[in-house]
Structure 1
Amino acid sequence: MGFAHPWISPSLALAVFLAGATTGGAAGSPALRAGPHDGVYTVEIHTRSGGCDPVYRWSITVSAGRVSSPVDGFMQASGKVSAQGGVSLAFRRDNQVANVAGKVKGGRASGTWSSPTLQCAGSWSAVRNG
């Protein structure tokens, strides 16, 4: 299931929690420290307004506070989960953007997302696996 807009891939859908492939190589960088919210999450995204698909499920990974997902050549995503559990992400493709915010507490997370360019918005929730 994808969004109603042709440019948006399933990756944007977590696009609407923690999702997206962050950039930045490990080569030449200091070792990344494990974060308290690291792990694989199952995410469910709900559209509450606009023409995007109503529900999407996806898996993402948080490592050292950085979010990653399956590689998708059609968009770029960047964001993080702070040690305190704050989620802050942006997903971009061409002129389109979706902004994601929320909070992780224990093995659960939730928040909101919006895309001013697509005129869609909603909520998301996630559960850490294992």
Structure 2
Amino acid sequence: MRVARIQAVLLSSVLSAGFAAPALAGNYDGLWNVKIVTKTGSCDPVAQYPLTVTHGKVSAADADVTGSVGNQGHVKVSIRGAYANGQLSGNAGSGKWNGASGGIPCSGHWEASRQ
């Protein structure tokens, strides 16, 4: 009887851990407000984009966006020819970007908050 009880507790623990694992991996799906700030170059000084993350894929209704957010929150995105990477954690994130305007390189940082 004692062995059966230990097995039941172990089985229960394994099943609970299995169901909790996806939540611990990080789910970044939802609407994000992204603010892009230029530090060098002639790109717009500040731009904002509402971006949507669905199953780790990044998209936007009115911008040419491709990219992804990994289970641990690592971001890789291309927005209108500019490239960004960084990190999301919980409902916020930040990172760096680089691109060009009229053939002149520019770069800066970005900040994001989940809506």
The letter of the residue matching 2:91 is G
What 5-or-longer segments of structure 2 have no aligned partner? Answer: 1-25
Matched, 1:114 2:98: yes
Q: Compute the displacement of 1:70 (Å).
A: 1.2
Percent identity, aligned pairs only, is 38
Structure scoring higher RCO (CA < 8 A, sep ≥ 6) equals 1
For 1:67, which of 55, 58, 64 is the aligned residue? Answer: 58
Return the index of the structure with the highest Cα Rg.
2
Q: Alpha-carbon deviations, 1:64-123, whole Å to 9, x = none?
A: 000110144xxx43210001100012245xxxx311100000000100000155401010
TM-score (norm 1): 0.62
Mapped to 2, the partners of 1:67 and 1:44 lie a distance apart of 15
Task: Output the aligned Cα RMSD.
Answer: 1.7
**Structure 1 residue 104 and structure 2 residue 88: aligned?**
yes
Residues 41-60 of structure 1 deviation map (CA, whole Å, 9 limit, x = unaligned): 11111000000111112211
Aligned length: 88
Letter in structure 1 aligned against 2:70: S
Give the 3-state SS of the residue equivalent to 1:87 in structure 2.
strand
When the two structures are superposed, what TM-score results if normalisation uses the length of structure 2? 0.69
